[in-house]
Amino acid sequence: MNFEPTETQRQITQVIRDFGKIHIQPYVLEWDENQTFPAPLFKQLGELGLMGVLVPEQYGGSGLGYLEYVTVISEIAKICGAIGLSVAAHNSLCTGHILQFGSEEQKQRYLPKLASAEWIGAWGLTEPNTGSDAMNMKCVAHKDGDEWVINGTKCWITHGKSGDVAVVIARTGNVRDSHGMSAFVVERGTPGFSGGKKENKLGMRASETAEMIFDNCRIPAANMLGNEGEGFIQSMKVLDGGRISIAALSLGIAKGAYEAALKYAQERHQFDKPIASFQGISFKLADMATEIMAAELLTMQAADTKTRGGVVTQQAAMAKYYASEVAVKTANEAVQIFGGYGYTKDFPVEKFYRDSKLCTIGEGTSEIQKLVIAREALK
Ligand SMILES: Cc1cc2nc3c(=O)[nH]c(=O)nc-3n(C[C@H](O)[C@H](O)[C@H](O)COP(=O)(O)OP(=O)(O)OC[C@H]3O[C@@H](n4cnc5c(N)ncnc54)[C@H](O)[C@@H]3O)c2cc1C
């Protein structure tokens, strides 16, 4: 398999680096400190075609494949993990769900607005008492004539307050029945739908994470995605793609931390030598480089399978599990290489360290990835 970047991937990389230098890098610390969700930035990213990467051109998207998508997310995450997370959640969760399971009418209504980032997307599966155990969800939808009425709370939702449109999974049948949940599109402004508490997080602070509250929220029956009872199964398929996103996010964070540490290790002198000349430091760099390469190959393999239309459940879980653990380990070692300076906000590695931890949690924890990998292996 040849994963040499294509001309399109090279162009994407250059566009993101040029754009990021002017519109992201200078503000990263300020957004992080103040937990600012920079909504206007996403409109600019939309103009660059980065908010509808996988959406076909007929719906206003860029019509690219998963290999290019991995390039987009990892290049943004090298500059700022939080912006990478928001772009990933918008593209692969909300937009991805409508793209995979929406009717032609739903695709025409939502995809052009999402691809241009005129509308920001949110995707709500998680609830206060059900994260890994999503089949136990309490948020319910019941049919009333030509409408569905949704009641309950979703939490930890990326763009839970600022999202203009949300895909929401709610119970329409029995608890723990995989066919007992359905997916709906809910637009901001619908009476009974509001944003709740915004989380004050360790990292990824410029990516808004908040509750979504549904209080007798009535939506037309036509807002269901696919058929009644398909919501959970659809969500698992959406997460297969989403896990490639988080693998790419992890890869970008790991590469950003590694590149900063590599440079610093050659510049910083102790005992009259660059610290890179000490084997204790150069071996850390060797481990980081090797593990990043392995994470990249797993991620590209999953992206390639997905682009070809293959079943990606195990490969995506492997890529997400390995790449996210590598991101945390690499960022940790990068702080170590920077010594005391790495512990300050004057250098980028403390932020990579804080941001990296989300990658082993969001869209299924490392433990859940291992359950998925083992279940597939034992089939
Ligand atoms: C920044 C951020 C953004 C997010 N964005 C979204 C979003 O946009 N939409 C959305 O729906 N959700 C979102 N989430 C939620 C995220 O997907 C969940 O946090 C995650 O799935 C874990 O669920 P939990 O937090 O409830 O942990 P829990 O499920 O309570 O898990 C706690 C611990 O128990 C372990 N555990 C649980 N079950 C098992 C098991 N069977 N075997 C072994 N170990 C187990 C877990 O691995 C973990 O270590 C986001 C979370 C964060 C932090």
Same domain, 166 and 194: yes
Question: Which amino acid is residue 184, in one-letter code?
Answer: F
29 alpha carbon to ligand 1 midpoint, in Å?
Answer: 27
**Does residue 275 line the site of ligand 1, with CB under 6 A?**
no
How does residue 142 score in pLDDT terms, banded at 50, 70 and 90? very high
Question: Quick one: 218 and 253 in the same domain?
Answer: no
Mutate which of 120, 162, 199, 361 for ligand 1 pocket (most atoms within 8 A of beta carbon): 361
Is-catalytic flag, 105?
no
| Number of domains, the chain | 3
Q: How far apart are the first and last CA of the chain?
A: 27
CATH number at residue 131: 2.40.110.10
Instruction: Tell me, yes or no, whether 98 and 144 share the same domain.
Output: no
- Mean pLDDT for 82-88 is 98
Number of neighbouring beta carbons within 10 Å of residue 2:
6
Q: Among the three residues 102, 120, 138, which one is the final residue of a domain in this structure?
A: 120
Report the percent of the chain where pLDDT is more than 70: 100
Residue 3 has a pLDDT of: 85
User: What pTM value is reported for the model?
Assistant: 0.98
Q: Would you give the distance in Å from CA 309 to the centre of its chain?
A: 21
For ligand 1, whether the C-beta of 126 sits within 6 Å is: yes
Read off the DSSP letter of residue 51: S
Domain check: are 312 and 287 in the same one? yes
Answer whether 136 contacts ligand 1 (Cβ < 6 A).
no
Average pLDDT over residues 256-277: 98
- 262 within domain boundaries: yes
Q: Considering only CA atoms, which residue is closest to atom 24 of ligand 1? A: 131
Domain with 67, as residue range(s), is 7-120
What mean pLDDT is reported for the chain? 97
Question: Taking 90 as the threshold, does the pLDDT of residue 2 lie above it?
Answer: no
Query: If you measure from the C-alpha of residue 375 to the centroid of ligand 1, how many angstroms do you get, rounded to a whole number?
Result: 19
Tokens 């492997």: give the residue.
318
- Among 230, 291, 296, 363, the active-site one is 363
Q: Are residues 351 and 216 in the same domain?
A: no
- Ligand 1 mean position to 127 CA, how many Å? 10
| DSSP code of residue 311 | -
Same domain, 237 and 347: yes
Looking at residue 62, what is its pLDDT? 98
β-bridge pairing 224-225 and 209-220:
unpaired
| 2 falls within a domain | no
Cα–Cα distance for residue pair 48/115, rounded to 1 Å: 10
The average pLDDT across 129-149 equals 96
pLDDT in tens, 321-362: 999 999 999 999 999 999 999 999 999 999 999 999 999 999
Average pLDDT over residues 298-303: 97
For residue 240, pLDDT over 80 is answered with yes
CATH number, residue 58: 1.10.540.10
Q: Say whether pLDDT at 1 is over 80.
A: no
Q: The tokens 């297969």 sit on which residue?
A: 240
Cα(126) to ligand 1 centroid in Å equals 8
CB count within 10 Å of CB 267 equals 9
pLDDT tens digits, 170-217: 999 999 999 999 999 999 999 999 999 999 999 999 999 999 999 999
pLDDT band at 99 (very low <50, low <70, confident <90, very high): very high
Note whether 333 and 325 are within 8 A (CB): no
Last residue in a domain, options 201, 231, 261: 231
Residues 227 and 244 grouped into a single domain: no
How many angstroms separate the Cα of 209 from the Cα of each of 108, 126, 182, 324, 356?
Answer: 28, 12, 23, 19, 16
Q: Which residues have CB under 8 Å from 280's CB, separation 6+?
A: none
Q: Please check whether residues 161 and 201 belong to one and the same domain.
A: yes
Biggest alpha carbon distance in the chain?
79
Q: Which of 169, 320, 181, 167 is nearest to 240 (CA)?
A: 320
Residues 129 and 241 in one domain: no
Q: Can you list the alpha helix ranges (DSSP code H) found in 169-273?
A: 231-267
Look at residue 13 and tell me if it is in a domain. Answer: yes
CB distance 94 to ligand 1 below 6 Å: no
Last residue of a domain, one of 231, 248, 264: 231
Q: What is the CA radius of gyration of the chain?
A: 21
